[in-house]
Amino acid sequence: MRSLPPVFSAVDLQRDPGRRLLKPALILMIPIVLVFMQITFSFGFSEDTIAEQQGSDNIAKPAPAQASANEPETPADNAEEAVHIVVPENDVQSSVPLVPREEILRSVPAAGKKVALTFDDGPSSKYTADYLRVLRENNVKATFFPIGRHIKSNANLAALIAGEGHEIGNHTYDHPNLKRQNKDSIRQQISRTSDLLNQRIQQEITLVRPPGGNYGPELEAVAAEMNMRVALWSVDPKDWEKNRTHKEIIANIKNHIGPGSIILLHEGKPETLKALPILINDLRQDGWEFVTVSELVGDRPASTTDRPSRGEKLPRICNRTALTSDSLI
């Protein structure tokens, strides 16, 4: 087989020197063309892949639902503002009372279906133990406003009231009309009673109730000095009237009760004692919850540390006797 002649003979290269560079140039152009073709192919493949991905995304993601004509749209810029974090009410505890301490307290409407039973003028050697028994049997905590001179003669009962978990306020020492008293006299009436209580119970006395609800700016000033709250009432069934029956007491309370009511009752009244268990049952059936005055207003609740544990002896004023309301009947 005859071989082909070379493209360029030696004579031709000598005649035309430019032809010497043509062969190396062709050799260099081959890889350049290959690289260019590879880049072109890769770029075209990438565009096709991106287009396919965008098409699949459009198919996978449904179009947003059209807003109802009655429902306003939320702008995208305010998306974060549209998110609300709901905190359970039980996790929120405010230290601010529902009624400022300097205001005269009559009721706490913001407390809703909670009411406070209060008992004035005790302790009564004849009836207080029975009152406590009824409250204990019905699992009710109340607020007592005893008179100083009665505490002095019934020290055991004062300790028992606190020992059974009830709240105790101050009802002055001699039960005078505070509207007719000057500041010094009012301060003495309150201080003597609080001192007697502090000797017998481990409970801070923060409430003062003027006898008959009679007070003036002097009492407000003294109460502010002593960091005490003046506590009156919003429901008065007039159980102190001589011929008031237990049915009339119950009917009056049920007719006048409202959200956050403070109910005025008195110790030493047999008709009040007779009405008490019926009243508690009826109000509970109507959805009312019983709390102390401090619990009602959002202040410190009545101390539960005063309640003796099983086998624990009551304060020394009780002569180291395991005193119960049943033992006093």
Rounded CA-CA distance 265/284 in Å is: 18
Q: Which residues pair with 117 in a beta bridge?
A: 263
The answer to whether 207 touches 143, Cβ cutoff 8 Å, is yes
Rounded CA-CA distance 188/229 in Å is: 17
The encoded tokens of residue 175 equal 């039960």
Rounded CA-CA distance 198/189 in Å is: 15
The answer to whether residue 266 is catalytic is yes
Decide the pairing of beta strands 114-120 and 289-291.
parallel
Helical spans, DSSP H, in 16-123: 19-60
The encoded tokens of residue 205 equal 């006395």
Letter for the amino acid at 11?
V
Rounded CA-CA distance 67/58 in Å is: 20
* Residue owning tokens 């993601």: 61
Rounded CA-CA distance 233/212 in Å is: 11
- Catalytic one among 150, 171, 246, 266? 266
Rounded CA-CA distance 248/239 in Å is: 9
Rounded CA-CA distance 52/44 in Å is: 13
Q: What are phi and psi of 107, to 5 degrees?
A: -160, 170
Q: Three-state DSSP class for 291?
A: strand
Give residue 163's Cα distance to chain centre. Answer: 27
- Catalytic one among 120, 121, 130, 239? 120
Spatial neighbors of 89 by CB under 8 A, at least 6 apart, are none
The encoded tokens of residue 42 equal 């890769």
Tell me the catalytic residues: 120, 266
